[in-house]
Protein backbone atom coordinates (compact mmCIF):
# COMPACT_ATOMS: atom_id res chain seq x y z
CA UNK A 1 0.00 0.00 0.00
CA UNK A 2 1.24 3.51 -0.74
CA UNK A 3 1.81 5.78 2.25
CA UNK A 4 2.91 9.43 2.31
CA UNK A 5 4.47 10.71 5.54
CA UNK A 6 4.60 14.42 6.28
CA UNK A 7 6.68 16.39 8.75
CA UNK A 8 4.89 19.76 8.84
CA UNK A 9 6.62 23.10 9.22
CA UNK A 10 5.65 25.46 12.04
CA UNK A 11 3.91 27.80 9.61
CA UNK A 12 5.94 30.75 10.81
CA UNK A 13 7.87 32.18 7.87
CA UNK A 14 11.45 31.66 8.88
CA UNK A 15 14.76 30.80 7.31
CA UNK A 16 14.75 27.17 6.26
CA UNK A 17 17.87 26.39 8.26
CA UNK A 18 16.38 27.78 11.41
CA UNK A 19 13.10 26.01 11.04
CA UNK A 20 14.05 22.38 11.67
CA UNK A 21 17.07 21.51 9.67
CA UNK A 22 17.38 18.17 11.34
CA UNK A 23 16.03 15.07 9.60
CA UNK A 24 12.67 13.73 10.82
CA UNK A 25 14.21 10.52 12.16
CA UNK A 26 10.93 9.08 13.46
CA UNK A 27 9.44 9.13 9.94
CA UNK A 28 12.56 7.45 8.54
CA UNK A 29 12.17 4.63 11.08
CA UNK A 30 8.47 4.28 10.21
CA UNK A 31 9.34 4.33 6.51
CA UNK A 32 11.96 1.59 6.90
CA UNK A 33 9.56 -0.66 8.82
CA UNK A 34 6.77 -0.24 6.26
CA UNK A 35 9.08 -0.79 3.29
CA UNK A 36 10.41 -3.98 4.86
CA UNK A 37 6.84 -5.28 4.79
CA UNK A 38 6.39 -4.36 1.15
CA UNK A 39 4.64 -0.99 1.42
CA UNK A 40 5.62 1.99 -0.69
CA UNK A 41 6.62 5.13 1.23
CA UNK A 42 7.25 8.79 0.38
CA UNK A 43 8.39 11.36 2.94
CA UNK A 44 7.73 15.09 2.62
CA UNK A 45 9.80 16.99 5.18
CA UNK A 46 8.09 20.33 4.96
CA UNK A 47 10.07 21.71 7.88
CA UNK A 48 12.99 21.50 5.46
CA UNK A 49 11.47 22.32 2.09
CA UNK A 50 8.77 24.79 3.22
CA UNK A 51 6.18 24.25 0.50
CA UNK A 52 2.94 26.23 0.82
CA UNK A 53 -0.12 24.11 1.62
CA UNK A 54 -1.50 24.12 -1.97
CA UNK A 55 1.80 22.79 -3.33
CA UNK A 56 1.84 19.98 -0.74
CA UNK A 57 -1.69 19.06 -1.76
CA UNK A 58 -0.58 18.93 -5.42
CA UNK A 59 2.34 16.67 -4.53
CA UNK A 60 0.25 14.31 -2.44
CA UNK A 61 -2.39 14.15 -5.21
CA UNK A 62 0.33 13.21 -7.66
CA UNK A 63 1.52 10.43 -5.34
CA UNK A 64 -2.09 9.31 -4.81
CA UNK A 65 -1.47 7.31 -1.59
CA UNK A 66 -4.06 5.31 0.37
CA UNK A 67 -2.75 6.63 3.68
CA UNK A 68 -1.28 9.93 4.86
CA UNK A 69 0.74 9.96 8.09
CA UNK A 70 1.29 13.31 9.79
CA UNK A 71 3.94 13.84 12.47
CA UNK A 72 3.06 16.52 14.98
CA UNK A 73 5.08 18.25 17.64
CA UNK A 74 3.27 21.03 19.49
CA UNK A 75 4.75 23.85 17.35
CA UNK A 76 3.87 22.04 14.11
CA UNK A 77 0.39 20.82 15.05
CA UNK A 78 -1.66 23.70 13.64
CA UNK A 79 0.13 23.52 10.32
CA UNK A 80 -0.27 19.70 10.31
CA UNK A 81 -4.00 20.20 10.69
CA UNK A 82 -4.14 22.74 7.83
CA UNK A 83 -2.23 20.41 5.54
CA UNK A 84 -4.31 17.34 6.47
CA UNK A 85 -7.59 19.21 6.04
CA UNK A 86 -6.63 20.54 2.59
CA UNK A 87 -5.51 17.09 1.45
CA UNK A 88 -8.64 15.33 2.71
CA UNK A 89 -10.80 17.86 0.81
CA UNK A 90 -9.11 16.74 -2.43
CA UNK A 91 -8.72 13.04 -1.60
CA UNK A 92 -11.75 12.13 0.54
CA UNK A 93 -11.03 8.37 0.53
CA UNK A 94 -7.54 8.81 1.93
CA UNK A 95 -7.04 7.64 5.52
CA UNK A 96 -5.27 10.19 7.68
CA UNK A 97 -3.20 9.05 10.65
CA UNK A 98 -1.57 11.40 13.15
CA UNK A 99 1.37 10.52 15.40
CA UNK A 100 4.25 11.92 17.52
CA UNK A 101 4.17 13.85 20.80
CA UNK A 102 1.37 16.33 20.29
CA UNK A 103 -1.08 13.87 18.78
CA UNK A 104 -0.27 11.29 21.47
CA UNK A 105 -1.07 13.68 24.31
CA UNK A 106 -4.17 15.30 22.79
CA UNK A 107 -5.73 12.42 20.82
CA UNK A 108 -9.20 12.79 22.34
CA UNK A 109 -9.66 16.48 21.57
CA UNK A 110 -7.92 16.04 18.22
CA UNK A 111 -10.26 13.29 17.01
CA UNK A 112 -13.30 15.11 18.39
CA UNK A 113 -12.54 18.44 16.74
CA UNK A 114 -11.08 17.30 13.41
CA UNK A 115 -13.25 14.70 11.68
CA UNK A 116 -10.83 14.39 8.73
CA UNK A 117 -8.26 12.72 11.03
CA UNK A 118 -9.10 9.02 11.10
CA UNK A 119 -6.62 7.52 13.58
CA UNK A 120 -4.00 8.54 16.11
CA UNK A 121 -1.01 6.30 16.83
CA UNK A 122 -0.09 6.69 20.50
CA UNK A 123 3.61 6.79 21.37
CA UNK A 124 6.42 4.78 19.80
CA UNK A 125 5.13 4.21 16.31
CA UNK A 126 6.87 1.46 14.35
CA UNK A 127 4.89 -1.65 15.28
CA UNK A 128 1.55 0.07 15.79
CA UNK A 129 1.68 1.93 12.48
CA UNK A 130 2.68 -1.21 10.59
CA UNK A 131 -0.20 -3.17 12.11
CA UNK A 132 -2.62 -0.37 11.29
CA UNK A 133 -1.46 -0.10 7.67
CA UNK A 134 -1.63 -3.88 7.26
CA UNK A 135 -5.13 -3.96 8.75
CA UNK A 136 -6.30 -1.13 6.48
CA UNK A 137 -4.86 -2.89 3.44
CA UNK A 138 -6.49 -6.20 4.33
CA UNK A 139 -9.73 -4.65 5.55
CA UNK A 140 -9.22 -6.24 8.96
CA UNK A 141 -10.65 -5.20 12.27
CA UNK A 142 -8.91 -2.10 13.59
CA UNK A 143 -9.97 -2.19 17.21
CA UNK A 144 -7.80 -5.20 18.02
CA UNK A 145 -4.68 -3.10 17.37
CA UNK A 146 -3.04 -1.90 20.58
CA UNK A 147 -1.90 1.72 20.95
CA UNK A 148 -4.32 3.58 18.70
CA UNK A 149 -7.30 5.92 19.09
CA UNK A 150 -10.21 6.54 16.70
CA UNK A 151 -13.83 7.70 16.60
CA UNK A 152 -16.50 5.11 17.26
CA UNK A 153 -20.20 5.36 18.07
CA UNK A 154 -20.07 9.13 18.42
CA UNK A 155 -17.13 9.05 20.85
CA UNK A 156 -13.39 8.46 20.87
CA UNK A 157 -12.06 4.98 21.59
CA UNK A 158 -8.56 4.26 22.82
CA UNK A 159 -7.27 0.68 22.62
CA UNK A 160 -5.02 -0.78 25.37
CA UNK A 161 -1.43 0.50 25.31
CA UNK A 162 1.10 -1.26 23.14
CA UNK A 163 4.18 -2.46 25.06
CA UNK A 164 7.41 -0.67 24.10
CA UNK A 165 9.78 -2.32 21.64
CA UNK A 166 12.22 -4.10 23.93
CA UNK A 167 14.96 -5.06 21.52
CA UNK A 168 15.74 -1.94 19.50
CA UNK A 169 18.36 -3.87 17.50
CA UNK A 170 15.50 -5.68 15.79
CA UNK A 171 14.35 -2.49 14.11
CA UNK A 172 15.63 -1.82 10.60
CA UNK A 173 17.91 1.20 10.30
CA UNK A 174 16.07 4.42 9.44
CA UNK A 175 15.77 4.78 5.67
CA UNK A 176 17.57 8.04 4.98
CA UNK A 177 17.17 7.60 1.22
CA UNK A 178 13.56 8.70 1.73
CA UNK A 179 14.79 12.27 2.20
CA UNK A 180 14.84 14.46 -0.87
CA UNK A 181 17.60 16.79 0.24
CA UNK A 182 20.76 16.95 2.31
CA UNK A 183 20.80 18.32 5.85
CA UNK A 184 23.37 20.43 7.62
CA UNK A 185 23.50 20.69 11.38
CA UNK A 186 22.22 23.79 13.08
CA UNK A 187 22.75 24.64 16.73
CA UNK A 188 21.65 27.79 18.60
CA UNK A 189 20.66 29.44 15.35
CA UNK A 190 24.04 28.92 13.68
CA UNK A 191 24.69 26.43 10.93
CA UNK A 192 27.12 23.68 11.81
CA UNK A 193 29.99 22.89 9.45
CA UNK A 194 28.99 22.43 5.83
CA UNK A 195 29.36 18.63 5.95
CA UNK A 196 26.50 16.27 5.20
CA UNK A 197 24.64 15.75 8.48
CA UNK A 198 22.25 13.25 9.97
CA UNK A 199 20.98 12.07 13.34
CA UNK A 200 21.33 8.76 15.17
CA UNK A 201 19.37 7.34 18.06
CA UNK A 202 21.20 4.94 20.39
CA UNK A 203 18.52 4.56 23.07
CA UNK A 204 14.91 5.46 23.79
CA UNK A 205 13.42 6.80 26.99
CA UNK A 206 14.61 8.62 30.09
CA UNK A 207 14.20 7.63 33.76
CA UNK A 208 14.11 11.25 34.98
CA UNK A 209 11.01 13.36 35.28
CA UNK A 210 11.91 16.98 34.64
CA UNK A 211 8.69 18.95 34.88
CA UNK A 212 9.23 20.97 31.67
CA UNK A 213 9.93 17.93 29.50
CA UNK A 214 7.49 15.62 27.76
CA UNK A 215 9.94 12.75 27.27
CA UNK A 216 9.12 11.04 30.56
CA UNK A 217 5.38 10.91 29.80
CA UNK A 218 6.09 9.67 26.27
CA UNK A 219 8.49 6.90 27.31
CA UNK A 220 6.85 6.28 30.71
CA UNK A 221 10.40 6.52 32.07
CA UNK A 222 11.29 3.14 30.54
CA UNK A 223 14.73 3.12 28.94
CA UNK A 224 15.82 0.79 26.18
CA UNK A 225 19.30 0.69 24.68
CA UNK A 226 20.57 -0.38 21.29
CA UNK A 227 23.69 -2.51 21.48
CA UNK A 228 26.95 -0.58 20.90
CA UNK A 229 27.66 -2.95 18.01
CA UNK A 230 24.50 -2.00 16.18
CA UNK A 231 25.03 1.74 16.80
CA UNK A 232 28.57 1.59 15.47
CA UNK A 233 27.54 -0.52 12.46
CA UNK A 234 25.03 2.21 11.54
CA UNK A 235 27.67 4.91 11.95
CA UNK A 236 30.10 2.94 9.77
CA UNK A 237 27.46 2.84 7.04
CA UNK A 238 26.84 6.56 7.38
CA UNK A 239 30.53 7.24 6.92
CA UNK A 240 30.54 5.11 3.77
CA UNK A 241 27.54 7.05 2.49
CA UNK A 242 29.44 10.32 2.77
CA UNK A 243 27.99 11.71 5.99
CA UNK A 244 30.41 13.87 7.93
CA UNK A 245 28.43 14.95 10.98
CA UNK A 246 26.13 13.02 13.28
CA UNK A 247 23.93 14.37 16.07
CA UNK A 248 22.74 11.97 18.75
CA UNK A 249 19.08 12.58 19.54
CA UNK A 250 18.54 10.20 22.49
CA UNK A 251 16.42 11.43 25.35
CA UNK A 252 19.33 10.73 27.68
CA UNK A 253 22.48 9.77 25.80
CA UNK A 254 25.02 9.62 28.63
CA UNK A 255 22.81 7.66 31.03
CA UNK A 256 24.87 4.46 30.90
CA UNK A 257 28.50 5.46 31.04
CA UNK A 258 29.85 1.98 30.30
CA UNK A 259 27.73 1.66 27.18
CA UNK A 260 28.98 5.05 25.95
CA UNK A 261 32.56 3.98 26.55
CA UNK A 262 31.95 0.78 24.59
CA UNK A 263 30.48 2.80 21.70
CA UNK A 264 33.56 5.05 21.73
CA UNK A 265 35.93 2.04 21.81
CA UNK A 266 34.15 0.43 18.87
CA UNK A 267 34.14 3.69 16.86
CA UNK A 268 37.89 3.87 17.36
CA UNK A 269 38.52 0.20 16.57
CA UNK A 270 36.53 0.52 13.36
CA UNK A 271 38.28 3.71 12.27
CA UNK A 272 35.04 5.69 12.14
CA UNK A 273 35.78 9.40 12.01
CA UNK A 274 32.58 11.39 12.09
CA UNK A 275 32.06 14.76 13.71
CA UNK A 276 29.72 14.19 16.62
CA UNK A 277 27.15 16.36 18.39
CA UNK A 278 25.60 15.33 21.69
CA UNK A 279 23.24 16.46 24.40
CA UNK A 280 23.72 15.53 28.03
CA UNK A 281 22.89 16.00 31.68
CA UNK A 282 25.57 17.78 33.67
CA UNK A 283 25.54 15.09 36.35
CA UNK A 284 26.58 12.49 33.78
CA UNK A 285 29.45 14.47 32.32
CA UNK A 286 32.38 12.59 33.83
CA UNK A 287 35.83 13.49 32.60
CA UNK A 288 36.52 9.94 31.39
CA UNK A 289 33.40 9.68 29.24
CA UNK A 290 33.98 13.14 27.77
CA UNK A 291 37.62 12.40 27.04
CA UNK A 292 36.68 9.24 25.18
CA UNK A 293 33.96 11.07 23.39
CA UNK A 294 36.28 13.87 22.30
CA UNK A 295 38.79 11.31 21.03
CA UNK A 296 36.24 9.83 18.65
CA UNK A 297 35.19 13.16 17.19
CA UNK A 298 32.71 14.80 19.55
CA UNK A 299 33.03 18.51 18.81
CA UNK A 300 29.84 19.90 20.34
CA UNK A 301 28.04 19.21 23.59
CA UNK A 302 24.79 20.80 24.61
CA UNK A 303 24.09 20.71 28.34
CA UNK A 304 20.85 21.34 30.17
CA UNK A 305 22.10 23.81 32.80
CA UNK A 306 18.62 25.34 33.14
CA UNK A 307 19.21 27.71 36.07
CA UNK A 308 21.75 29.24 38.42
CA UNK A 309 19.26 29.00 41.33
CA UNK A 310 18.92 25.80 43.29
CA UNK A 311 15.30 26.60 44.18
CA UNK A 312 14.41 26.88 40.46
CA UNK A 313 16.27 23.65 39.65
CA UNK A 314 14.27 21.98 42.41
CA UNK A 315 11.05 23.45 41.01
CA UNK A 316 11.95 21.97 37.59
CA UNK A 317 12.62 18.59 39.24
CA UNK A 318 15.96 18.49 37.46
CA UNK A 319 18.00 16.94 40.24
CA UNK A 320 21.19 18.87 39.52
CA UNK A 321 22.96 21.84 41.11
CA UNK A 322 24.72 24.93 39.68
CA UNK A 323 27.95 23.45 41.00
CA UNK A 324 27.47 20.31 38.89
CA UNK A 325 27.10 22.54 35.83
CA UNK A 326 30.36 24.30 36.65
CA UNK A 327 32.05 20.93 36.98
CA UNK A 328 30.61 19.61 33.71
CA UNK A 329 31.91 22.67 31.82
CA UNK A 330 35.36 22.19 33.35
CA UNK A 331 35.38 18.50 32.48
CA UNK A 332 34.34 19.24 28.92
CA UNK A 333 37.01 21.83 28.45
CA UNK A 334 39.67 19.55 29.89
CA UNK A 335 38.47 16.75 27.63
CA UNK A 336 39.00 19.01 24.61
CA UNK A 337 35.43 19.39 23.39
CA UNK A 338 35.42 22.46 21.17
CA UNK A 339 31.91 23.82 21.48
CA UNK A 340 30.19 23.73 24.82
CA UNK A 341 26.66 25.07 24.86
CA UNK A 342 24.59 25.63 27.98
CA UNK A 343 20.83 25.61 27.67
CA UNK A 344 18.87 27.63 30.24
CA UNK A 345 15.15 27.86 30.98
CA UNK A 346 13.98 31.17 32.39
CA UNK A 347 10.52 32.17 33.47
CA UNK A 348 9.57 29.64 36.10
CA UNK A 349 6.52 31.09 37.90
CA UNK A 350 8.38 31.04 41.22
CA UNK A 351 11.26 33.05 39.77
CA UNK A 352 11.67 36.65 40.87
CA UNK A 353 13.47 39.32 38.90
CA UNK A 354 16.48 38.79 41.18
CA UNK A 355 16.43 35.03 40.56
CA UNK A 356 16.47 35.58 36.80
CA UNK A 357 19.31 38.05 37.15
CA UNK A 358 21.22 35.53 39.26
CA UNK A 359 20.91 32.94 36.46
CA UNK A 360 22.00 35.47 33.83
CA UNK A 361 25.01 36.40 35.99
CA UNK A 362 25.73 32.72 36.53
CA UNK A 363 25.77 32.23 32.74
CA UNK A 364 28.06 35.24 32.26
CA UNK A 365 30.56 33.68 34.64
CA UNK A 366 30.25 30.04 33.70
CA UNK A 367 33.80 29.12 32.80
CA UNK A 368 34.25 26.82 29.83
CA UNK A 369 30.83 27.44 28.29
CA UNK A 370 31.16 28.86 24.79
CA UNK A 371 27.61 29.96 24.30
CA UNK A 372 24.38 30.01 26.29
CA UNK A 373 20.94 29.37 24.88
CA UNK A 374 18.33 31.24 26.91
CA UNK A 375 14.88 29.69 26.55
CA UNK A 376 11.66 30.95 28.06
CA UNK A 377 9.66 28.25 29.86
CA UNK A 378 6.81 27.15 27.60
CA UNK A 379 4.11 24.68 28.55
CA UNK A 380 2.85 22.05 26.13
CA UNK A 381 0.76 18.90 26.55
CA UNK A 382 2.63 15.95 28.04
CA UNK A 383 4.67 18.02 30.50
CA UNK A 384 4.16 17.70 34.21
CA UNK A 385 3.93 21.50 34.43
CA UNK A 386 1.13 21.52 31.84
CA UNK A 387 -0.82 18.99 33.89
CA UNK A 388 -0.16 20.99 37.06
CA UNK A 389 -1.47 24.19 35.44
CA UNK A 390 -4.62 22.38 34.31
CA UNK A 391 -5.11 20.63 37.66
CA UNK A 392 -4.69 23.84 39.62
CA UNK A 393 -7.17 25.67 37.42
CA UNK A 394 -4.73 28.10 35.79
CA UNK A 395 -4.99 26.67 32.29
CA UNK A 396 -8.17 26.01 30.36
CA UNK A 397 -7.02 22.98 28.39
CA UNK A 398 -10.09 23.03 26.16
CA UNK A 399 -9.07 26.47 24.93
CA UNK A 400 -5.29 26.08 24.66
CA UNK A 401 -4.59 22.43 23.80
CA UNK A 402 -3.48 23.14 20.23
CA UNK A 403 -0.42 25.26 21.02
CA UNK A 404 2.27 25.92 23.59
CA UNK A 405 1.79 28.68 26.16
CA UNK A 406 4.30 30.77 28.08
CA UNK A 407 4.37 29.59 31.72
CA UNK A 408 4.50 33.05 33.28
CA UNK A 409 1.38 34.04 31.33
CA UNK A 410 -0.45 31.07 32.84
CA UNK A 411 0.59 30.72 36.47
CA UNK A 412 0.55 33.60 38.96
CA UNK A 413 4.11 34.85 38.45
CA UNK A 414 6.53 37.51 39.54
CA UNK A 415 7.53 38.62 36.07
CA UNK A 416 5.83 39.77 32.88
CA UNK A 417 6.92 38.23 29.56
CA UNK A 418 8.08 41.58 28.13
CA UNK A 419 10.32 42.22 31.10
CA UNK A 420 11.84 38.77 30.84
CA UNK A 421 12.48 39.23 27.11
CA UNK A 422 14.15 42.57 27.78
CA UNK A 423 16.38 40.99 30.42
CA UNK A 424 17.40 38.26 27.98
CA UNK A 425 18.11 40.78 25.20
CA UNK A 426 20.26 42.85 27.53
CA UNK A 427 22.06 39.71 28.65
CA UNK A 428 23.01 38.67 25.10
CA UNK A 429 24.17 42.11 24.25
CA UNK A 430 26.41 42.14 27.34
CA UNK A 431 27.56 38.54 26.86
CA UNK A 432 28.68 39.07 23.30
CA UNK A 433 30.37 42.42 23.83
CA UNK A 434 32.64 41.19 26.60
CA UNK A 435 36.27 40.78 25.48
CA UNK A 436 36.37 37.71 27.73
CA UNK A 437 33.85 36.19 25.31
CA UNK A 438 35.04 37.24 21.89
CA UNK A 439 38.83 37.18 22.32
CA UNK A 440 38.93 33.49 23.37
CA UNK A 441 36.30 32.67 20.74
CA UNK A 442 38.36 34.24 17.96
CA UNK A 443 41.52 32.50 19.16
CA UNK A 444 39.71 29.18 19.38
CA UNK A 445 38.25 29.62 15.91
CA UNK A 446 41.51 30.44 14.14
CA UNK A 447 43.07 27.37 15.75
CA UNK A 448 40.29 24.98 14.81
CA UNK A 449 39.57 23.62 11.33
CA UNK A 450 36.10 22.63 12.46
CA UNK A 451 35.24 26.08 13.76
CA UNK A 452 36.61 27.69 10.59
CA UNK A 453 34.33 25.44 8.56
CA UNK A 454 31.36 26.55 10.68
CA UNK A 455 32.30 30.19 10.21
CA UNK A 456 32.56 29.78 6.44
CA UNK A 457 29.25 27.90 6.26
CA UNK A 458 27.52 30.76 8.06
CA UNK A 459 29.19 33.46 6.00
CA UNK A 460 28.20 31.59 2.83
CA UNK A 461 24.56 31.28 3.88
CA UNK A 462 24.63 34.82 5.30
CA UNK A 463 23.40 33.76 8.72
CA UNK A 464 22.24 36.96 10.29
CA UNK A 465 23.54 37.48 13.76
CA UNK A 466 20.50 39.55 14.66
CA UNK A 467 18.25 36.74 13.41
CA UNK A 468 20.25 34.22 15.43
CA UNK A 469 19.77 36.22 18.59
CA UNK A 470 16.08 36.65 17.78
CA UNK A 471 15.76 32.88 17.44
CA UNK A 472 17.64 32.33 20.65
CA UNK A 473 15.38 34.62 22.56
CA UNK A 474 12.28 33.13 20.97
CA UNK A 475 11.29 36.54 19.54
Residues at the contact surface with ligand B12, assessed by CB under 6 A: 7, 10, 19-20, 22, 24-27, 29-30, 47, 69-71, 73-76, 97, 99-102, 121, 124-126, 129, 199, 201, 213-215, 249, 251, 375, 380, 382
Q: How many residues does the chain have?
A: 475
User: Least distance to ligand SF4 from the beta carbon of 430, Å?
Assistant: 28
User: Least distance to ligand SF4 from the beta carbon of 304, Å?
Assistant: 6
Cβ-based nearer residue to ligand B12, 45 or 338: 45
Q: How does DSSP assign 232-286, residue by residue?
A: HHHHHHHHHTT--EEEE--SSTTSSHHHHHHHHHHHHHTT---EEEEEE-GGG--
Task: Output helix, strand, coil percentages for the chain, rounded to the nearest 5.
Answer: 45, 15, 35
Q: Which stretch binds ligand SF4 (CB under 6 A): 104-112, 193-201, 213-221, 466-474?
A: 213-221
Select the binding partner of residue 252 from ligand SF4, ligand B12, none (C-beta < 5 to 8 A, by kind): ligand SF4
Cβ-based nearer residue to ligand B12, 4 or 264: 4
Q: How many residues at the interface with ligand SF4, by CB under 6 A?
A: 11
Select the binding partner of residue 208 from ligand SF4, ligand B12, none (C-beta < 5 to 8 A, by kind): ligand SF4
User: Least distance to ligand B12 from the beta carbon of 324, Å?
Assistant: 19
Cβ-based nearer residue to ligand B12, 331 or 473: 473
The rounded distance, in Å, linking the Cα atoms of 116 and 93 is 10
Applying the rule CB under 6 A, the residues between 250 and 309 that interact with ligand SF4 are 251-252, 281, 304
The rounded distance, in Å, linking the Cα atoms of 396 and 459 is 45
Cβ-based nearer residue to ligand B12, 131 or 326: 131
User: Least distance to ligand SF4 from the beta carbon of 215, Å?
Assistant: 4
**Coil, strand or helix: which one is 408?**
helix
C-beta of residue 69 within 8 angstroms of C-beta of residue 4 = yes
Is residue 215 a contact residue for ligand SF4 (CB under 6 A)?
yes
Is residue 186 a contact residue for ligand SF4 (CB under 6 A)?
no
Cβ-based nearer residue to ligand SF4, 104 or 252: 252
Q: Are strands 119-121 and 95-99 parallel, antiparallel or unpaired?
A: parallel
Select the binding partner of residue 76 from ligand B12, ligand SF4, none (C-beta < 5 to 8 A, by kind): ligand B12
Q: How does DSSP assign 18-66, residue by residue?
A: HHH-S--HHHHHHHHHHHHTT-EEEEEEHHHH---HHHHHHHHHHH--S
Cβ-based nearer residue to ligand B12, 108 or 265: 108
Select the binding partner of residue 17 from ligand SF4, ligand B12, none (C-beta < 5 to 8 A, by kind): none
User: Helices 417-433 and 353-364: crossing angle, nearest 10°?
Assistant: 20
Select the binding partner of residue 407 from ligand SF4, ligand B12, none (C-beta < 5 to 8 A, by kind): none
- The burial class, CB within 10 Å (0-12 / 13-18 / 19+), for 167 is exposed
Is residue 208 a contact residue for ligand SF4 (CB under 6 A)?
yes
Cβ-based nearer residue to ligand B12, 302 or 326: 302
Q: Are strands 155-158 and 148-152 parallel, antiparallel or unpaired?
A: antiparallel
Positive or negative, the CA dihedral 73, 75, 79, 85 is positive
Is residue 210 a contact residue for ligand SF4 (CB under 6 A)?
yes
Cβ-based nearer residue to ligand SF4, 189 or 280: 280
The rounded distance, in Å, linking the Cα atoms of 240 and 251 is 27
Q: What count of Cα atoms within 13 Å lies in the side-chain half-sphere of residue 286?
A: 11
The rounded distance, in Å, linking the Cα atoms of 110 and 103 is 7
- Angle formed at CA 135 by CA 162 and CA 131, multiple of 5 degrees: 30
Q: What count of Cα atoms within 13 Å lies in the side-chain half-sphere of residue 91?
A: 21
CA-closest candidate to residue 281, choices 321, 252, 249: 252
C-beta of residue 390 within 8 angstroms of C-beta of residue 380 = no
One character per residue 187-206, x = contact with ligand SF4 (rule: CB under 6 A): -------------------x
Cβ-based nearer residue to ligand SF4, 234 or 250: 250
Query: 213, 254, 366, 395: which one contacts ligand SF4 (CB under 6 A)?
Result: 213
User: Least distance to ligand SF4 from the beta carbon of 321, Å?
Assistant: 15
Is residue 345 a contact residue for ligand SF4 (CB under 6 A)?
no
Q: How far is CA 66 from CA 57, 82, 440, in A?
A: 14, 19, 56
Q: Which residues bind ligand SF4 (CB under 6 A)?
A: 206, 208-210, 213, 215-216, 251-252, 281, 304
Amino acid sequence: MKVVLINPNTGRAERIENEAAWPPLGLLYLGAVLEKSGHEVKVIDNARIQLPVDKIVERVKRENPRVLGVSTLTPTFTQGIKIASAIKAELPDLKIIFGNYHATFTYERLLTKYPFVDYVVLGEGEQIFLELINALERNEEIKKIKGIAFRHDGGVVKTPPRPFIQNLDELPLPDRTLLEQEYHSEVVGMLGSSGKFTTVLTSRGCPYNCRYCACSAFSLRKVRFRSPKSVVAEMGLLQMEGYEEVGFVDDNLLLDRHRMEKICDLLKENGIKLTLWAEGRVDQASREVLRNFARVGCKTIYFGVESGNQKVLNYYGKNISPELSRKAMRNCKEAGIENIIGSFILGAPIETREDVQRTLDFALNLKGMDFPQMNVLMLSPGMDLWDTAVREGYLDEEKYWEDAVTAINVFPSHLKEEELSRMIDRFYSKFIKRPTFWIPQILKTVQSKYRMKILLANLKSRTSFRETVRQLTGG
